[in-house]
């Protein structure tokens, strides 16, 4: 069993928890993820490491309440316990040789992007961060990004906070004037697709995190199967064991988006059943 030592509500449907897991905390790096189960009958879900405290032996994860398991997890109080917390899994984000980087985070994907920005900041790279949200009420981790960035741009779709528009707007403006050793984009699949298309206009290198399509986390379920275009061929990779980071130009986003919608009805049904359980408890 693993203790939740701290919990913090970032927004009504977005929660940050800090879990006591010293072995994971000692090894985890930005870009990696963990697998957890809320209880012994629960499903296994992957969540990206949002930060570690090696001295206290704790690991932060941030999740959005969107389904049955995240609803259950959101009801575990501070001081409560979850069944399993395994990791770190996946490959860490590549930082070697990168002196100037642009981090692009969308929505809850910012929880994954933040530790990446913090790591680049720690090693002395010049960090530009662009974070985007639908509206002011959904903005998260702004202060943390500001502390980890030489330059921060906040975007909202409706203009209710920061600048109006999506993340590709300031990215295009920046690429018209300067170059980055790499652009690292983390967010919804559609958002990453159009960020890659923007980078392509300038032949700028771009890495995307395919965390949104992970399910099992070990490569056995095949749910994170990903089609890459390499040397004129379609290559199959698995986001959880081969990634989650990939060259954005190689990813078949249309296929990934189509496959990500396959279980929408099932997830909605499971979510409603779980909500009703808590209401009637």
The model's pLDDT over 118-128, given as tens digits with 9 standing for 90+, comes to: 999 999 999 99
Q: Are 262 and 275 in contact (CB under 8 A)?
A: no
CA distances from 27 to 17, 91, 132, 244 (A): 18, 12, 30, 17
Q: What average pLDDT does the segment 200-219 reach?
A: 79
Greater confidence, 199 or 244? 199
CA distances from 197 to 96, 168, 192, 194, 253 (A): 25, 9, 9, 5, 11
Q: Which pLDDT value is given to residue 265?
A: 52
Burial of 90 (0-12, 13-18, 19+ CB in 10 A): buried
Would you call the peptide bond into 138 cis, given omega within 30 degrees of 0 as the criterion? no
What is the C-alpha to C-alpha distance for residues 114 and 118, in angstroms, rounded to an integer?
Answer: 6
Residue 206 has pLDDT above 80, yes or no: yes
Domains of the chain (ranges; CATH) run 2-89 (2.40.30.10), 100-260 (3.40.50.80)
Q: Name the residue with tokens 């012994």.
A: 40
Residue 272 has pLDDT above 50, yes or no: no
Q: Tell me the per-residue pLDDT of 21-77, one tens digit each, with 9 for 90 and over.
A: 999 999 999 989 998 999 998 888 888 899 999 999 999 999 988 888 889 999 999
Given pLDDT bands bounded at 50, 70 and 90, which one contains residue 271? very low
What is the C-alpha to C-alpha distance for residues 66 and 99, in angstroms, rounded to an integer?
Answer: 37
What is the C-alpha to C-alpha distance for residues 35 and 221, in angstroms, rounded to an integer?
Answer: 14
Q: Are 83 and 37 in contact (CB under 8 A)?
A: yes
Q: Which pLDDT value is given to residue 273?
A: 47
Given pLDDT bands bounded at 50, 70 and 90, which one contains residue 216? low
Q: Which pLDDT value is given to residue 266?
A: 47
- Which of the 8 DSSP states describes residue 188? -
Token pair recorded at residue 264: 């929408």
Q: Which pLDDT value is given to residue 213?
A: 55
What is the C-alpha to C-alpha distance for residues 266 and 245, in angstroms, rounded to an integer?
Answer: 27
């Amino acid at each position: 069993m693993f203790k939740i030592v701290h919990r913090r509500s970032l927004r009504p449907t977005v929660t940050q928890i800090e879990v006591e897991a010293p072995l994971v905390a000692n090894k985890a790096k930005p870009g990696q993820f963990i697998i957890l189960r809320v209880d012994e009958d629960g499903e296994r879900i992957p969540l990206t490491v949002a930060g570690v405290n090696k001295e206290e032996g704790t690991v932060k994860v941030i999740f959005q309440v969107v389904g049955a398991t995240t609803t259950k997890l959101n009801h575990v109080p501070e001081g409560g316990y979850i069944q399993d917390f395994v990791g770190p899994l996946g490959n860490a984000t590549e930082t070697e040789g990168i002196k100037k980087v642009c981090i692009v985070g969308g929505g809850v994907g910012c929880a994954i992007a933040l530790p990446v920005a913090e790591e680049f900041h720690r090693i002395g790279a010049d960090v530009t961060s662009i974070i985007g949200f639908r509206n002011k009420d959904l903005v998260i981790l702004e202060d943390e990004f500001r502390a980890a960035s030489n330059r921060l741009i906040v975007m909202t779709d409706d203009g209710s906070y920061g600048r109006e528009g999506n993340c590709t707007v300031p990215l295009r403006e920046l690429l018209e004037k300067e170059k980055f050793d790499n652009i690292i984009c983390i967010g919804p699949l559609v958002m990453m697709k159009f960020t890659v298309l923007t980078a392509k206009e300038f032949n700028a290198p771009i890495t995307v995190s395919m965390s949104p399509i992970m399910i099992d986390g070990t490569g056995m379920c095949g749910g994170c199967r990903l089609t890459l275009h390499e040397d004129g061929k379609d290559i199959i990779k698995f986001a959880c064991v081969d990634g989650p980071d990939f060259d954005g130009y190689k990813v078949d986003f249309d296929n990934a988006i189509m496959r990500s919608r396959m279980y929408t009805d099932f997830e909605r049904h499971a979510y409603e059943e779980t909500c009703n359980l808590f209401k009637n408890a």
